């Protein structure tokens, strides 16, 4: 059952069974083996993120001195990103998202990692939703409105939860306040892995 948390937000608690979470984690471990985690840095200051990242699909999000952007290659190995696992393409389709996902950003949160309040606006289109899949330890997720000063609310995202941010919610401010260490046994090394499926380029004409 999907819950409407705000205009355009659909939360699907436990969308993935334990078995489906394990199968998806195995797909992501293969992605990580081909495209190792890198640590993004803030463009102006060079300050490192506390979250490590990698990507799969034709495009991947990166952050370094030169800014935030999508590119077709890993910033350290120079290799093209690994293919989007079929399981993720099926999930995107099953949720009714349009066309094909072009990027899956994989965020890894060890104990103590967080992500400040931000908007995702490096994509060329906001016509497709962002689909978020949580694996491992529960996160305390903060979601606000389309301005930085709008009121925010806190939502817990547990392993297997999927959230679709479409329509007006596509441009909301959001972040991760903290990780509840030890809340899941899915990820052997502990911590949380979040996947965000995205469309980067404009949708193909109908």
Containing H/E element for 22?
Answer: helix 18-34
Site mask for Fe ion (CB under 5 A), range 62-101, x = bound:
----------------------------------------
What are φ and ψ of residue 48, in 5° steps?
-75, 145
> Is residue 176 near ligand MD3 by the rule CB under 6 A?
yes
Half-sphere exposure (Cβ direction) of 19: Cα atoms closer than 13 Å: 0
Closest of 195, 204, 206, 165 to residue 25, by C-alpha: 195
> Is residue 179 near ligand MD3 by the rule CB under 6 A?
no
Q: Which is nearer to ligand MD3, 88 or 172 (CB)?
A: 172
Q: Which is nearer to ligand MD3, 68 or 205 (CB)?
A: 68
How far apart, in whole angstroms, are the C-alpha atoms of residue 107 and residue 51? Answer: 6
Q: Which is nearer to ligand MD3, 170 or 199 (CB)?
A: 170
Closest of 74, 70, 73 to residue 39, by C-alpha: 74
> Is residue 123 near Fe ion by the rule CB under 5 A?
no
Strand partners, 142: 154, 175
> Is residue 120 near Fe ion by the rule CB under 5 A?
yes
How far apart, in whole angstroms, are the C-alpha atoms of residue 118 and residue 66? Answer: 18
- Binding window for ligand MD3 (CB under 6 A); candidates: 16-24, 65-73, 88-96, 171-179: 171-179
Which of Fe ion, ligand MD3, none has residue 107 at its interface (CB below 5 to 8 Å by kind)? ligand MD3
DSSP state of 101: -
**Interface residues with ligand MD3 (CB under 6 A)?**
105, 107, 115, 120, 130, 132, 139, 163, 165, 169-170, 172, 174, 176, 194, 196
Residues interacting with Fe ion, by CB under 5 A? 120
């Amino acid at each position: 059952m999907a819950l409407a948390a705000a205009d355009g937000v659909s939360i699907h608690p436990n969308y993935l069974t334990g078995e489906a979470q394990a199968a998806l984690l195995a797909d992501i471990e293969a992605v990580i083996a081909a495209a190792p985690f890198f640590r993004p840095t803030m463009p102006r200051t060079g300050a490192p993120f506390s979250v490590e990242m990698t990507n799969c699909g034709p495009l991947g999000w990166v952050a370094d001195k030169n800014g935030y952007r999508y590119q077709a290659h890993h910033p350290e190995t120079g290799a093209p990103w690994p293919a989007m696992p079929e399981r993720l393409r099926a999930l995107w389709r099953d949720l009714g998202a349009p066309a094909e996902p072009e990027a899956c950003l994989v965020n890894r949160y060890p104990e103590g990692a967080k992500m400040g309040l931000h908007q995702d606006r490096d994509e060329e289109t906001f016509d497709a939703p962002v689909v978020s899949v949580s694996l491992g330890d529960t996160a305390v997720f903060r979601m606000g409105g389309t301005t930085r000063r709008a009121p925010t609310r806190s939502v817990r995202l547990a392993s297997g939860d999927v959230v679709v941010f479409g329509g007006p919610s596509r441009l909301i401010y959001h972040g991760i306040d903290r990780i509840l260490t030890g809340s899941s046994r899915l990820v052997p090394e502990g911590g949380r892995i979040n996947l965000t499926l995205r469309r980067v380029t404009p949708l193909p004409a109908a």
